[in-house]
Amino acid sequence: MRAYGARPLLLGSALLGIVIVSALAVRESMRNAQARKSAAERTVKDFAKFAAYIYTSRAYLFARDRALFQAYVPIHPSEPWAPNAKLPPASILAAIPDTTERCGPPAQWPIYRFRVDLPSRAVQYVGSRPVPAIDAIIRDSIPKLADSRWVKRAGFGYLFVDPPGGRETIAYAPAADSSGKLLAVYGYRSCYGVRDTSDYSQMYAVVRVLPPMVPGYIEDQSGSGNGYWRPPVKSGGKRDGASANDGLRSDGMGGGVAQIRTEEMKGHWPAGMPAESLFVMTVTDDKDRKIYQAPKGGQSSDFYGVSPLMYVGGAAFWVALRPDVAKFLVVGGIPSSGVPASVMLLIGSIVLAIAGFASLRSEIRLVNSRQRFLANVSHELRTPLQQILMFVQLLRLGRTRNEGERDRSLEIIERETHRLISLSNSVLAAARPQLQLRSTPVDVVNVAATAADFFTPLAEARKMRIELDVPQSATARGDPGAIRQILINVLDNAAKYGPIGQTITIGVRNEPHSVRLWVDDCGAGIPKAQRENVWKPFYRGGGTVDDSTGGAGLGLSIVRDLAAAMDASVDLAERPTGGTRFTLNLQPSRNGKGDPS
């Protein structure tokens, strides 16, 4: 960076380094946040799996009590038979093997009992007979299921079936000898687990899952049965997000009302927090069909656990934690998926880098503009000074041949001096931090004529003519010196960029809400894409520092600033006949004759 030194390079490197370091920090932070969130979700899901396992275990115990301690007491399935023992008939089972079942009226729900002898698979029925489809299942499928290791170990099993009358269950128990050989299978018609779901309801109501397994549950020790659950206190003594304005929702529960806040849960639970305050339990069969759900229509959740119970029709127990409660089951809660603060750091560093690079670019452009400005000003100063020096030497040495040449030399010296003064005024105007102009009534026609007279010698040097189009007087509010400077700058541009011999027209008109002053030239015009840029400092639409159109690039920038200071507007447009029209719209004056200066 030959012209700018090492500072921009160091600044750019520093900004790039900040962005890279911030990106690495964000990457690591997001990894850590994701790891914390995954660990918290895994913990909650493990809790759901554990709750599902508890319910499965209780369901097994409930089913075992019904089978071994009531229905199959006469055959003692857990005790082996002698290899050649004579097995009792199916009638040994009670007419109603499970008296706790609620399947329907006896007339509509006849119970068949059976014994399947092996290996002949001869079936002995007592009571009613099943439909052929169920009979086939009893002959073909029940012996295979009863011969499995887990049924022999448990001593009982249930199979869910779908006869034409609706879903029901086949209860069965193996009869095996001491070597484990299956001798026969006893069973009966049942509705356990499909129509009779009382065990599921009882488990859901009484099984205690929450305390003391969840951090934050505080059980009353006074015997009054009052307990509450709030998240554990973090460091600093403040609870996680506790607020007096937290949302409140009430759910009706046995034993009291549970007030569920987003950050605190209270209630009266002598046997622990009710299950409906925590999760939804769903029981499905081996085809994933829903058998039971509590509470009904419960909200689904991504935090769930499942545990199968092969002994009871291949049922599966699903426990889905309520989303608004899951965060209480982990110390510190489940981290939100919002944008971490480190991402804001990265965004801030990127914005800082963009601003820094923009500033660096502006600085480089400013250096380039300053260099162009110095070169342009040097060129503008050198040309008139050379002219002045040359004609002063001619006059001093007396080399003019007549009075006409002498007057011509003095005229050129005067013209070039005015040019230097105009350039100096432009530079000084551009350097002023804030323009403060007079606001008085101005005779715009008189100012236009004065500017034309001043610029006529320079125009004649280029064989150009200046015409005035002022059919009537016009008075505006503004600064006469500023309006004159605007005209001189615009005339200078028209002379520089227009063809030799052109006619430059200055016009003035009274409009309903303004006084319009314009300058027309016969040049090539300004492309539409460049018309906004010509108002910027140091911008030049054409030419180089060595050609006849060289300039500092400040003329129109000063014009815009002077117009803005007078509450006027400027505009550039293309003439229908070719060339450019500059328009200055001044505020009209209603206070009489304007200042002619």
- Asked if residue 101 is part of any domain, the answer here is yes
For residues 297 and 375, membership in a common domain is answered with no
Stated as kind and residue range, the H or E segment containing 132 is: helix 132-146
pLDDT at 267 over 60: no
Across 24-28, 157-161, 261-265, 425-429, least confident range: 261-265
pLDDT at 389 over 70: yes
At 271, the pLDDT band (50, 70, 90 cuts) reads very low
| Dihedral (CA of 390, 392, 395, 396) sign | negative
What is the mean predicted confidence (pLDDT) over 276-302? 84
User: Residue type for 10, please?
Assistant: L
Q: In terms of DSSP bridges, do strands 265-268 and 580-588 run parallel, antiparallel, or are they unpaired?
A: unpaired
pLDDT at 254 over 50: no
pLDDT at 530 over 80: no
Q: Which long-range contacts (CB under 8 A, 24 or more apart) does 45-50 make?
A: 45/303, 45/304, 45/305, 46/305, 47/213, 47/214, 47/305, 47/321, 47/329, 48/279, 48/303, 48/304, 48/305, 48/319, 48/320, 48/321, 49/305, 49/306, 49/307, 49/319, 50/213, 50/305
Q: State pLDDT tens for residues 472-521.
A: 889 999 888 888 888 888 888 888 888 888 889 999 999 988 999 999 98
Q: State pLDDT tens for residues 144-166.
A: 999 998 898 889 999 999 998 88
At 16, the pLDDT band (50, 70, 90 cuts) reads confident
Contact 177, 81 (CB under 8 A): yes
What is the mean predicted confidence (pLDDT) over 355-374? 74
At 538, the pLDDT band (50, 70, 90 cuts) reads low
Q: What is the mean pLDDT of the chain?
A: 77
Looking at 334, 350, 379, the residue that finishes a domain is 334
For residues 286 and 377, membership in a common domain is answered with no
Give the model's pLDDT for residue 236.
41
At 259, the pLDDT band (50, 70, 90 cuts) reads very low
Give the model's pLDDT for residue 183.
93
Q: How far is CA 109 from the centre of its chain?
A: 61
For residues 378 and 287, membership in a common domain is answered with no
Looking at 334, 357, 382, the residue that finishes a domain is 334
pTM for this entry: 0.51
For residues 319 and 372, membership in a common domain is answered with no
For residues 289 and 420, membership in a common domain is answered with no
At 242, the pLDDT band (50, 70, 90 cuts) reads very low
- Asked if residue 270 is part of any domain, the answer here is no
3-state secondary structure 355-421: HHHHHHHHHHHHHHHHHHHHHHHHHHHHHHHHHHHHHHHHHHHCCCCCHHHHHHHHHHHHHHHHHHH
What is the mean predicted confidence (pLDDT) over 271-275? 56
For residues 324 and 392, membership in a common domain is answered with no
Give the model's pLDDT for residue 26.
74
Across 82-86, 168-172, 294-298, 592-596, least confident range: 592-596
pLDDT at 269 over 50: no
Give the model's pLDDT for residue 434.
55
Largest CA distance in the chain: 160
Q: State pLDDT tens for residues 410-428.
A: 887 887 787 777 677 766 6
- Asked if residue 1 is part of any domain, the answer here is yes
For residues 327 and 377, membership in a common domain is answered with no
Contact 188, 204 (CB under 8 A): no
At 551, the pLDDT band (50, 70, 90 cuts) reads low
- Asked if residue 267 is part of any domain, the answer here is no
For 537, the domain range is 368-588
At 91, the pLDDT band (50, 70, 90 cuts) reads very high
Residue 565 neighbours by CB under 8 Å, 6+ apart: 435, 436, 437, 479, 482
For residues 320 and 395, membership in a common domain is answered with no
Looking at 312, 334, 356, the residue that finishes a domain is 334
Q: Which of 210, 246, 199 is nearest to 57 (CA)?
A: 199
- Asked if residue 260 is part of any domain, the answer here is no
Stated as kind and residue range, the H or E segment containing 562 is: helix 555-565
CATH of residue 481's domain is 3.30.565.10
How many domains does the chain divide into?
A: 2
Q: State pLDDT tens for residues 107-123.
A: 888 999 999 999 999 99
Cα 402 to Cα 387, 391, 405, distances in angstroms: 19, 14, 6
For residues 306 and 384, membership in a common domain is answered with no
| Token pair recorded at residue 55 | 């319910």
For residues 69 and 199, membership in a common domain is answered with yes
- Asked if residue 59 is part of any domain, the answer here is yes
For residues 17 and 118, membership in a common domain is answered with yes
| Token pair recorded at residue 177 | 């000898």
Q: Which long-range contacts (CB under 8 A, 24 or more apart) does 581-585 make?
A: 581/518, 581/519, 581/520, 582/490, 582/494, 582/518, 582/519, 583/516, 583/517, 583/518, 584/483, 584/486, 584/516, 584/517, 584/518, 585/511, 585/514, 585/515, 585/516, 585/517
pLDDT at 124 over 90: yes
pLDDT at 279 over 70: yes
Strand partners, 516: 509, 585
What is the mean predicted confidence (pLDDT) over 329-342? 65
At 371, the pLDDT band (50, 70, 90 cuts) reads confident
Give the model's pLDDT for residue 436.
62
Give the model's pLDDT for residue 358.
78
- Asked if residue 198 is part of any domain, the answer here is yes
- Asked if residue 240 is part of any domain, the answer here is no
Give the model's pLDDT for residue 234.
41
For residues 417 and 284, membership in a common domain is answered with no
